[in-house]
Amino acid sequence: MSQGSKDLNYFPLTTQLQCFSQKISLVLVLVGFTVIGGWALDIAVLKGILLGLPTIRVNTAVGFLLGGTSLRLWHWELNRKKTNGTEKIQSLSCSVACLIVLIALLTLIQYGFNVNLGIDQWLMQQPEPLGSTAASGRMAPNTALAFLLEGLALLLLSLPRPHDLAVQGMALGAGILGFLELLGYVYGSADLYPTGSFTGMAVHTAIAFLLLSSGVLCARPDRGMMLLVNSDSAGSLMARRLLPLAIVLPPLLGGLSHLGYQWHLYTEEVQATLASICDILLFSGLIGWNSYMLNRLDSHRTGAEQSLQKVNAQLQEELHTRKQAEEALQTSQERFAGILEIASDAVISVDECQRITLFNQGAEKVFGYTTSEVLNQPLDLLLPMRFAQRHRQYVSDFAHSPGEARRMAERSQIFGRRKDGTKFPAEASISKLKVGGKIVFTAFVRDISDAYRQAEQRQRTEETLRESEERFRSAFDNAAIGMALVAIDGRWLKVNRSLCDLVGYTEQELLSLSFQDITHPEDIDADLSYARQLLAGEIRSYQLEKRYFHADGHVVWILLSGSLVRDAQGNPLYFIGQIQDISERKQAEKLLALQAVSRWIGKNSTM
């Protein structure tokens, strides 16, 4: 087949499989909600298809709900990537997959270490049937293992660069576990579902695992092992047609023969004979059908080869018409030059000797020359002298490069020179076109003087802002008193050395605390009251004498000056605090008060 035919056949199948995966994700979400509703409303048919068979546990339903949600989010994120979407959905998909892995791991830990972590009844009570020894509400160990594989597959799938073989291998492993449980119900084998005191996997749990595995496998059908069935090759075509039959028919025929044995229609030996005969007939039929399809493909291939011969003849004719198109290209170039005359940007063409051959009206406005003044003149006329040599070398290098167009001045600013000698900053791009064996260079030049001035002004403003921030930082760090930036919730955001020395904490220790943590309990309400007034805009600043607890436990009296910083929209950002140590002053005041009391007592005693 030709490449064009491959594109027509291959990509629609990929799209169909991905659409199938999206629908599966919605079905799984519906299954999860349905089972949870069955437990909430105590509807037996929603919890287990047949009485006496295991029911889907609430955690199992949550797992399918999360699995469908993660897969749906992955598809949503994939579609948003095509329209420049954000990466937040990818992170959410990973988080949901992690929840699946967590639930599965905790359940397996409970089985492995014979402990009850309390996760089985976290959502609602799920009593076991009378006489059951299984843990109440706990999913089966094989169910937990399947969820672990599915969760890891979804987690890897949500990564920026997933390992497709690992993703599909884990999904396939979980699907095999579900398929084995389904076979257990078909053959009535107790060894494949409830065992001992463990809870068995419900019928619809097994089916849901098959759906979830199919959804993950079809999420990226153009990668990994899915390429074996998702291509237009003969092998993939045969695989797509034979695999469903090979998976469905043997268990179906085996189940029918086993059903006859259970109904005592024949002995076990007859059952084995019937199963062998069915297998022979089945595989003989599949081989015959495969041979028929391969013969059809061979016939189609012969027809395709004949078509290729016709296409080759058409290509020979197209080579002849291409030569005629090259001759018409020069005429088209002349018409193109007429269109460029009305362009607002400067459009300048030069020949291989870098002499000007085209100078449009936009160029006349930008450079101040008329067309007659510059035609056949060297391009250096329009460049500052110090850039002329470098520009000639640039054009020469571009002539020998494979590209047909390039943006100039990607590494440094370029300038043009007007007729009056003034230079101006410019943006330029250059293209080349071979006409009649000669190369013509065309440059598109735009005067960016206004943007350049704005950029310089913005740079000066940024430098001024940096200087201002540096002065503030220096004043903050080297202040003789304590300085601090405090979050709205009271956490220390930035502290200087003086404050650390005052309260005896290191900077890292303070940044892990809030001001409430080191404030005396009797002083917190007053401080918070002032903070609320600042936030409400009732006051601009305040001063408060309060007590801090030193790191070694003693009390430090401080004078706090607080204010609030807001952004341009008036939203509060953080508090600024200036903290002065007034412990000595407080001690002196206390001493003076004691002396005054002593004098008063002495005076009264003499009287």
CA 100 distance to own-chain centroid: 19
Is residue 487 in a domain? yes
Beta bridge pairs of residue 579: 482, 560
In a shared domain, residues 131 and 275: no
Provide mean pLDDT across the span 218-227: 86
Compute the radius of gyration of the chain from its Cα atoms: 41
Give the pair of three-digit tokens for residue 298: 């061979």
Is residue 541 in a domain? yes
Q: Three-state secondary structure along 146-157?
A: HHHHHHHHHHHH
- For the chain, first and last CA: distance in Å? 126
**Higher confidence at residue 157 or residue 433?**
157
| Lowest mean pLDDT across 17-26, 53-62, 204-213, 411-420 | 411-420
Beta bridge pairs of residue 572: 566
In a shared domain, residues 297 and 317: yes
In a shared domain, residues 311 and 177: no
In percent, how much of the chain has pLDDT > 70? 81
pLDDT greater than 80 at residue 338: no
**pTM of the model as a whole:** 0.46
In a shared domain, residues 500 and 439: no
The amino acid that residue 65 corresponds to is L
Is residue 140 in a domain? yes
In a shared domain, residues 525 and 488: yes
In a shared domain, residues 16 and 125: yes
Three-class SS of residue 124?
Answer: coil
In a shared domain, residues 90 and 191: yes
Instruction: Give the model's pLDDT for residue 486.
Output: 94
| Lowest mean pLDDT across 248-262, 342-356, 548-562 | 248-262
Provide mean pLDDT across the span 443-454: 81
pLDDT greater than 70 at residue 9: no
- Number of folded domains in the chain? 4
Beta bridge pairs of residue 262: none
pLDDT greater than 70 at residue 52: no
The burial class, CB within 10 Å (0-12 / 13-18 / 19+), for 382 is: buried
Instruction: Give the model's pLDDT for residue 8.
Output: 37
Domain boundary among 197, 231, 265: 231
Three-class SS of residue 395?
Answer: helix
Q: Residue 531 maps to which CATH number? A: 3.30.450.20
In a shared domain, residues 513 and 425: no
Question: Which of 74-88, 270-284, 454-468 is predicted most confidently?
Answer: 454-468
Q: Three-state secondary structure along 197-243?
A: CCCCCCHHHHHHHHHHHHHHHCCCCCCHHHHHCCCCCHHHHHHHHHH
pLDDT greater than 70 at residue 319: yes
Q: Let me know how long the chain is.
A: 607
Provide mean pLDDT across the span 398-416: 66
Domain boundary among 231, 246, 277: 231
Look up the domain containing 584 and give its range: 479-591
In a shared domain, residues 435 and 517: no
Instruction: Give the model's pLDDT for residue 404.
Output: 61
Helices (H), 263-384: 268-340, 361-367, 371-374
| Lowest mean pLDDT across 17-21, 201-205, 547-551 | 201-205
Question: Which of 295-309, 329-343, 586-600 is predicted most confidently?
Answer: 586-600
- Tell me the C-alpha to C-alpha distance, in Å, between residue 225 and each of 14, 59, 274: 14, 31, 35
| Lowest mean pLDDT across 108-112, 256-260, 425-429, 548-552 | 256-260
Provide mean pLDDT across the span 178-201: 62
